[in-house]
Amino acid sequence: MTDEILVTKPRVLIPEVKIQARLKELAAEINNTYQNTEITVICTLKGSFVFFADLIRELEMPLTCEFLGLSSYGNQKVTSGEVKVTLDINEPLEGKHVLVVEDIVDTGLTLQYICKSLLARNVASLKTCALIQKPDALKVPIEVDFTGFKIGNEFVVGYGIDYAERFRDLPYVGFVENEH
């Protein structure tokens, strides 16, 4: 399969230096919110792993890490609207303070699904953190507690975010201009 998007180098939308500066600000907000409260930080795979790794190294409270695999895009540029769990959390979350780390909140459907699922596990508290939020693309009302950047409806890649498993390794968030 050949696709123009797979060979075109993405243009920088959010440079690495801005990501790292905002990441430190987000960590300070999270540190201030939780202070010395132990939290369970959940990484939504695969797109959040780079952001997640950088973020938890800046957090100052005791924490444990969990991983939740989800899919709603596959190899498409638009969500299917159906959230599939590909890897569930291993440890019980009842009574724990939970922070969900997302790469991008687009339609809000995936984050809404995650929140409903985690609240059903009787967590003590639940907060969300996203590197990127697309407010104009939301299909459901969802609040993100800690947001790195708000952008328009650009299809973005880089810093862990992919298109058909490509571009996760970019140190910046970029977009590919549609040539068609």
Q: Which residues are catalytic?
A: 106
Q: From 3, 130, 2, 114, select the one nearest 67 (Cα to Cα).
A: 114
